[in-house]
Amino acid sequence: MKLSSDSGPTSVPLLEETIPQNLARIVAQHPDQDALVSVEQGIRLTYAQFAQEVNLLARALMGVGVGKGDRVGIWSPNYAEWVLVQYATASIGAILVTINPAYRSSELEYVLKQSDISVLVSAESFMTSDYRAMVDELWEQVPTERVIYLHTTDWDKLLEAAGEVSASQLAERTAQLACGEAINIQYTSGTTGFPKGATLSHRNILNNGYFIGEACKYTAKDRVCIPVPFYHCFGMVLGNLACTTHGAAMVIPAAGFDAAATLKACARERCTSLYGVPTMFIAELGEPDLASYDLSSLRTGIMAGSPCPIEVMRQVTERMNMSEVTIAYGMTETSPVSTQTSADDPLDKRVTTVGRVHPHVEIKIVDPETGETVPRGTSGEFHTRGYSVMLGYWDEADRTAEAIDAEGWMHTGDLAVMDDEGYVNIVGRIKDMVIRGGENVYPREVEEFLYTHPDVVEVQVIGVPDVRYGEELMAWIQLRDGADTTAADIKDFCKGAIAHYKVPRYIKFTDAFPMTVTGKIQKFKMRETSIAELGLEDASQVRSA
């Protein structure tokens, strides 16, 4: 009997470098290749120019007093400056705290306090978010010493501070860094309803980016279109670090996702690779003039972030020329990718699984009750171990110990099946985390907010299937006697107070919840009832990898 465990190849060694060391080596090899193109901003930098801008910003941050280990927050959509901040903070050993652009003031306050951010780099506004107003609202309550707004004189003044620090001082700081040191904190929803700060090292994310690029067969000739957000591992690791470890070009189509802008960037910049969560690819495939864009340069790409519908994968392969598109699976806590399909895999494996184990990573699928590794073909909880597992949750040893056992295995909470050839399929989640269009939402966080509504007596939030987003949020709510609150009232209560993707799409008012004999609410029964009542049977049948 073959068990559900596997180890990735080790023939290609891990990069035992820091991010600035790796970048310097790549810059020396490919100085004149495009490194960063921001289509919407009209910015184009070669690797030599990119390194120059990164070093200028690194000296500027040192000039305003940012020390090794200090936390620098970034709250912004996808701008070229975001990428510069990513590499500049890495160059001086500061820890970059990436903040979701959809956060509202209460979520921002939690992150600023929990990670003790000393400098915040922020956009002034984006779409419906007035970042400056939210920062002003919190200013007296948070430890942040300095806020630098992008595209204002703040940024110009920051760069002037580079004059206080010499190139040799920067080099001295960079030389002091070790690849095992923390370089990034990314907040991910947690079981208490409060986000946890997954703390990642140079070694974690540099190597994960490198092996992701290897799986996509990147070289310095590749040009990668990155419409996924930088604040998430998908953008900054699968995107930026996969590129810079191979001398490939990072192409930013727009500050936020726009299907037409993404297709236009792919055509204009002759991109060879395109990223997205399934929702993004569905939107691109749905563009009425899709055929008018010259996508002949596309070769590969990555679909990840939430379960990938098999039919969408097939259409991307056929209609967008992405014959070598891959699926990646992982989580923030594992830098993030643990398994990935390869361009060499048979088509059926590439469109119906999340691939096989990554290099230098171990995986196993265990019985959640006994902890024993299950036979191949049997579902269980996906565990992973290796260089990619995070250092821990920032300043939360107890929560770290709950996630990573004494032998170093990360317990993902995802249910998976491994076939005889080692290909993995994700079949569900032990936790009732909802993944809406690549955004992780923990129901308790939304429930706790809805409980603050004066008319809400009891509330339970679940995920229900959705063709576009994979899952949508639904709230079952019991109102106080005599209340005449409507679904629209509940949604209005949420808008502007919590991130848009946490606002329930569906609301059901009820007097009772399905429960066990011991009084535990059965969310799976709520889900079954909701699927039937909402007519979502077709969406629930969409196969995904």
**pTM for this entry:** 0.86
> For position 208, which CATH number holds?
3.40.50.12780
pLDDT-derived band at 518 (thresholds 50, 70, 90) equals: very low
Mean pLDDT, range 92-106, rounded to an integer: 94
Q: Is residue 459 part of a domain?
A: yes
Percent of the chain past pLDDT 90, that is, above it, reads: 79
Distance CA(444)–CA(471), nearest Å, equals 16
Q: Is residue 392 part of a domain?
A: no
pLDDT-derived band at 457 (thresholds 50, 70, 90) equals: confident
Q: Is residue 515 part of a domain?
A: yes
Q: Are 458 and 473 in contact (CB under 8 A)?
A: no
* Residue in this structure with the two tokens 């900054």, named with its chain if needed: 236
Q: Are 39 and 266 in contact (CB under 8 A)?
A: no
Q: Are residues 349 and 454 in the same domain?
A: no
| Token reading at 119 | 């400098």
Last residue of a domain, one of 328, 359, 390: 359
Mean pLDDT, range 409-422, rounded to an integer: 94
Last residue of a domain, one of 332, 359, 386: 359
Last residue of a domain, one of 359, 377, 408: 359
Q: Which domain holds residue 506?
A: 434-540
Q: Are 327 and 347 in contact (CB under 8 A)?
A: no
The 8-class DSSP code of residue 511 comes to S
Mean pLDDT, range 337-344, rounded to an integer: 94
Q: Return the pLDDT at 516.
A: 58
Within a 10 A sphere around the Cβ of 297, how many other Cβ atoms?
14
Q: Return the pLDDT at 523.
A: 85
Q: Return the pLDDT at 191.
A: 42
Element (H, E) at 259: helix 259-268
Percent of the chain past pLDDT 70, that is, above it, reads: 98
| Token reading at 120 | 């915040």
Query: Angle formed by the axes of helices 259-268 and 278-285, to 10°?
Result: 80
Q: Are residues 162 and 293 in the same domain?
A: yes
Q: Is residue 397 part of a domain?
A: no
Q: Is residue 205 part of a domain?
A: yes
Mean pLDDT, range 278-286, rounded to an integer: 90
Q: Return the pLDDT at 306.
A: 73
Instruction: Return the sign of the alpha-carbon dihedral for residues 206, 212, 218, 224.
Output: negative
Q: Are residues 344 and 448 in the same domain?
A: no
Q: Are 457 and 413 in contact (CB under 8 A)?
A: no
Q: Are residues 307 and 450 in the same domain?
A: no
Distance CA(320)–CA(205), nearest Å, equals 29
Q: How many domains does the chain have?
A: 2
Q: Are residues 457 and 321 in the same domain?
A: no
Q: Is residue 390 part of a domain?
A: no
Q: Is residue 377 part of a domain?
A: no
Q: Return the pLDDT at 154.
A: 98
- Among 381-385, 398-402, 444-448, 500-504, the minimum mean pLDDT is found in 444-448
pLDDT-derived band at 474 (thresholds 50, 70, 90) equals: very high
Q: Are residues 318 and 225 in the same domain?
A: yes
- Cα dihedral 186, 189, 192, 194, rounded to 10, equals 60
Q: Are residues 351 and 462 in the same domain?
A: no
Q: Return the pLDDT at 517.
A: 52
Model confidence at 537: pLDDT above 80: yes
Q: Is residue 521 part of a domain?
A: yes
How big is the chain, counted in residues?
545
With b meaning 16 or more CB within 10 Å and e meaning fewer, what string describes 24-36?
bebbeebeebbbb
Q: Are 471 and 434 in contact (CB under 8 A)?
A: yes
Q: Are 87 and 54 in contact (CB under 8 A)?
A: yes
> For position 464, which CATH number holds?
3.30.300.30
